[in-house]
Amino acid sequence: MFFVNVFGIVAICTAINTAWGSSFCPSLPTMKCSCPSGWQLWQKACYRLTESKANWENSKSACQEIGGKMAAPRSLKEMNFMAELAKKKVNNYYVWIACNDIEVEGNWTCDVLGDGDPFMGWQPGQPDNVYDQDCAGIAARHNDKMDDDECIKNYEAVCVRHAVCSPRSTQLRHFCFSSDYPSRFLNATCLFDHVIREFTTEGVTACGSACIKEPGCRSFNIKKSEGRKLCQLNNSTRLDDKDKFQNTSYFCMYLEECIG
Ligand SMILES: [Ca+2]
Ligand SMILES: [Ca+2]
């Protein structure tokens, strides 16, 4: 059974089918990302090593010459990915990353891709600045963690660039019922005061499709009134306006786009 639980919201496609006799079960809007040839995709970025060993400055330039920049990890996971990438080439690797304390001794700065903060994953005991080590790398002999070394040493470097990403399909959107934890869906709770359009509907499929087409639609209510089903498209979600997510004395169910 398809089952996703996000912030107390549960998606159960089989339940939708039972409740409405519909086959409304589109999948998540997934991003498709791609990298130029020779680059490895990880999350939304592309990675590769420089072709040859060079000192830190020249390695930095080498990354730029191939359309990227020297990489600095933003998380342990990203650093682990970089280590794996380096290991594919040589087991006992040492690769430069974009961190240094050239300007002020002990004051490490990293140049990461995008807005993220750098992840400073030093091997215990590092940085030790032996013989004035002002440039950082990650290395097999440092348990895939960071070390400082002399900037004049020649190593390959990890380069990074943004991947080109686009939604697989704008039609594939996925709505989730509101529910009590763990899975009892709420059929008398809706979001109030955010309706941008309201109309009689066949059911979840039609209402969900209308929400997808309506600019600004972020969730919808299905309300039973005098034997009809009313579709109400909302310009907000229950997380954005918790106070307006209220119980009703009639059948009313709420769906919003699932996250994750
Ligand atoms: Ca230093
Ligand atoms: Ca060191």
Å from CA of 3 to ligand 1 middle: 51
Amino acid at 129: N
User: Cα Rg for the chain, rounded, in angstroms?
Assistant: 26
Percent of the chain past pLDDT 70, that is, above it, reads 82
Ligand 1 centroid from CA 78, angstroms = 24
- Beta partners for residue 247, in sequence order: 189
- In this structure, what token pair is assigned to residue 108? 């490490």
Looking at residue 117, the DSSP 8-state letter turns out to be P
- Between 9 and 104, whose confidence is greater? 104
> Looking at this protein, which amino acid is placed at residue 44?
K
**Widest Cα–Cα separation across the chain:** 83
Q: Note the pLDDT tens digit of each residue in 138-168.
A: 999 999 999 999 999 999 999 999 998 876 5
Whether 154 contacts 53, CB under 8 Å: yes
- Tell me which residue of 202, 248, 253 sits closest to 21, measured CA to CA: 202
Asked if residue 18 has pLDDT above 80, the reply is no
Q: Would you say residue 169 has pLDDT above 60?
A: no
**Predicted pLDDT of residue 215:** 85
Number of H helices, E strands in the chain: 4, 20
Residue 50: closest CA among 93, 79, 101: 93
Query: What is the bridge-based pairing of β-strands 94-100 and 156-162?
Result: parallel
What is the pTM for the complete model shown?
0.57
- In degrees, rounded to 5, the angle at the alpha carbon of residue 231 between the alpha carbons of residues 229 and 236 is 145
Lowest mean pLDDT among 29-33, 91-95, 180-184, 240-244: 180-184
Number of the ligand closest to the Cα of 135:
1
- Say which residue, 196 or 204, is predicted with more confidence: 196
Bigger pLDDT: 122 or 22? Answer: 122
Nearest ligand to residue 129 Cα: 1
pLDDT on residue 117: 95
Give the residue-averaged pLDDT of 24-42: 73
pLDDT surpasses 50 at 67: yes
131: CA distance to ligand 2 center in Å? 9
Q: What is the pLDDT of residues 171-192, one digit of tens each?
A: 456 677 776 655 667 888 999 9
Closest CA to 174 of 16, 24, 54: 24
- Ligand 2 centroid–CA 134 distance in Å is 9
Phi-psi sector, 125: left (phi>0), alpha (psi -120 to 50), beta: left
Residue 23's pLDDT band (boundaries 50, 70, 90)? very low
Q: Rounded to an integer, what is the distance from CA 28 to the centroid of its chain?
A: 13
Q: Which residues surround ligand 2, an ion (CB under 5 A)?
A: 126, 128, 133, 147-148
CB-based contact 155:96 (threshold 8 Å):
yes
> Does pLDDT of 29 surpass 70?
no
Buried b / exposed e across 224-252, counting CB within 10 Å, b at 16+?
A: eeeeebbbbbbbbbbeeeeeebeebeeeb
74 pLDDT higher than 80 = yes
What confidence tier does 30 reach under pLDDT thresholds 50, 70, 90?
low
The pLDDT of residue 251: 92
Q: State how far the Cα of 78 lies from the Cα of 98, in Å rounded to an integer.
A: 14
**Secondary structure (3-state) at 41:** strand
Q: What does the pLDDT average to over 125-150?
A: 98
Q: What pLDDT score does 165 carry? A: 84
What pLDDT, on the 0 to 100 scale, is given for residue 151? 98
- Kindly report the length of the chain: 260
